[in-house]
Amino acid sequence: MLSETDARARGLADLPEVQSDLLLQLIALCNADPRPEKIDVGVGVFRDGHGNTPILKVIKEAERILLETQETKSYLGSAGDKRFAELLRPVLLGEHADDDRIAGLQTPGGCGALRLGFELIATVNPNARVLVGTPTWPNHAPIIRAVGLQMIEYPYYDRDACSIRFDAMVAALKEARAGDVVLLHGCCHNPTGADLDDGQWAEVAPIIAERGLLPFVDIAYQGFGRGLDEDARGLRGLLSACDEVIAAQSCDKNFSVYRDRVGSLFVKTGSTDTTARAMAHVGQRAREMWSMPPDHGAAAVRIVLDTPKLRQRWPGELAAMRDRINSVRQRIASADPRLAYIGNQFGMFSMLPLSRDQVLALRERHAIYMADSGRFNVVGLSDAQVDRFTAAVVEALDA
Ligand code: LMR
């Protein structure tokens, strides 16, 4: 017999409360703060020395070309813009660009690529476990759980020593079971800024290959760390070592097209036939979730990569963003020996050794908005804000 409660039809009013994403909450909190001196080092967007997130000149030019030449907005299909994915191959895959066991398709941002990659894994192996080094991007866990996969955490970063716990990482990989998935940050680790160096990648890749693990590389900041090729070396090493590799790529940052949501998913398997089958599944999952990715941003990126004079100019604009990131890092690092580690890290993020209460006190007293974890967007700071920010952080560290 059904109880009265079970029998009652459930309506939307029965929905439980949901804890909304903390980073998105932080954007709203910061926007609502009326203090003109507020400092937003929360969500990861590049800002120039004046605190603006400009549209790249190559993208503006590509959009002009798009406006003048686009003749139809008819559907492209669930793989999106195929030429876009083709032109990304040398950028992302380097020496593996011509490997026909690797196929890629356009996705709505890196987040869409992650979801799609995990959907593929759940389709073939619903019992796969996903090894995740902590801390990681706060949206990784919800995406992995959403597809029903189990997550196994291992400690990646030591907050007190401000360095990678490489031994713990290697130990976790050596304990993993064949078929387990290893989620790795390709470069510019989010949230710590602590990347594996070339030697560490070279150590990790054969362990992954020998143990039959599936590496899944999240590469959302290519070009923001050391350079376009340098930042992809870890991924390319895995492509050399392993038969099966998945990569979720994003152009949102390195082409500065954030809200246009431009990304791609690349899949390598042991044979062209298997890759074709995997991509058929991926296309079907994409069709179920978003049918087709939005076109505009990917079309603009495609035009940049397909137009020699724009293709030549893009690395320069990217280098200017990277140089600013690194110069802000050096300014912060030189302010206090306890912040020196920030000068040796990569990409937009680093973590401060602050408690949640200290982070909240910085918000309250100094209108400084960073994630509760102590993660801050280095390049969220305008040139004029760097000294005030570091002074407030040093004061918090001294307290
Ligand atoms: C971030 O971590 O701030 C970015 O990747 C933006 C996001 O979607 O969370």
Given the residues 180, 195, 218, 231, select the one marked as catalytic: 218
Say what the pTM is.
0.95
Structure confidence at residue 6 (pLDDT): 60
> What are 220-236's pLDDT values in tens digits?
999 999 999 999 999 99
d(CA 298, CA 262): 6
190 lines ligand 1 (CB under 6 A): yes
d(CA 166, CA 153): 14
CB 102 within 8 A of CB 270: no
Q: In a mutational test of the pocket of ligand 1, which residue from 137, 192, 251, 373 has the highest number of ligand atoms less than 8 Å from its CB?
A: 137
> What are 68-81's pLDDT values in tens digits?
999 999 999 999 99
Q: Give the chain's mean pLDDT.
A: 96
**Closest approach atom of ligand 1 to CA 190:** 2
Mean pLDDT of 78-89: 98
Q: In the chain, pLDDT over 90 holds for what percent of residues?
A: 95
> What are 315-347's pLDDT values in tens digits?
999 999 999 999 999 999 999 999 999 999 999
Q: Report angle CA 152, 157, 162 to the nearest 5 degrees.
A: 170
